[in-house]
Structure 1
Amino acid sequence: MIGYRVKTLREEKKMSISELSAKSGVAKSYISSLERNLQTNPTILVLEKIASILCITVDALLYEQVDHSMDDEWKEIMKDIMGSGISKEEMREFIEERKCTALEN
């Protein structure tokens, strides 16, 4: 459900409903009803606003399952990263920065 994913992602970012509302321009009451699954058919515009603030794609809100399979090239890239001495935290920070930058453009 979209509402559950919004709530989970918002909480992962340690963001209140009020903060998400202020930053996205979506009414606090609407976000609350979305998270409680009282509002089950949000518009794409609302989803885009929320996704942008959460630094994710609209697809991440719409679809429960994401294909996590890795092809051989990705496996090689991951081996290179693991062998480079970059910590998990540094890699996570890099990825989060890139997600937000990509969504802003």
Structure 2
Amino acid sequence: MIGERIKKLRDEKGYSITELAELANISKSYLSYIERNLNKNPSIHFLMKLAKTLDVSMEYLLTGMNQTDDHTMNSNGKDFLDKEWQIIIETAIKEGMNKDDFKEYINFIKFKNWEKSR
């Protein structure tokens, strides 16, 4: 949730609630409410100020993930799934493939690669 992410980022930066509120020019009580999930719907203005101060994207504050031009990154900054993979997977699903089909295809590719290496 947003509040938990904000608290984690604040702790990682070593800021107290008071320090972060002052740096971001936001209300300390409002920040506290958000962190404790008493208010689960912070304003965009509030999120913009926090994102800038904490040096993260608003998307990260909202979702826990960062979107770059063609990659989705998880909270560790590692590629999660690029756009091309998303399109390939979505197309396969639309054409009727299911998880078992994908697993069978992976095994087939592994077998073909094994055959080539012999």
TM-score in terms of structure 1 length: 0.62
Give the fraction of aligned pairs with identical amino acids, expressed as a percent.
44
The corresponding residue for 1:25 is 25
1:65-76 paired onto structure 2 within 5 Å: 65-66=65-66, 67=72, 68-69=79-80
Q: Could you list the runs of 5+ residues in structure 1 that have no partner in the other structure?
A: 72-105
Structure with more of its chain in strand, by fraction: 2
Q: In terms of Rg, which structure is larger? A: 2
Structure with more of its chain in helix, by fraction: 1
Instruction: Indicate the SS of the match to 1:69.
Output: strand
Q: Could you list the runs of 5+ residues in structure 2 that have no partner in the other structure?
A: 67-71, 73-78, 83-118
- Taking a change above 3 Å as real, the CA distance of residues 18 and 69 of structure 1, as seen in their structure-2 partners, is same
The root-mean-square deviation of aligned C-alpha atoms, in Å, is: 1.6
Q: For residue 41 of structure 1, report the CA deviation from its aligned partner.
A: 0.7
Q: For residue 29 of structure 1, report the CA deviation from its aligned partner.
A: 0.5
The corresponding residue for 1:36 is 36
TM-score in terms of structure 2 length: 0.56
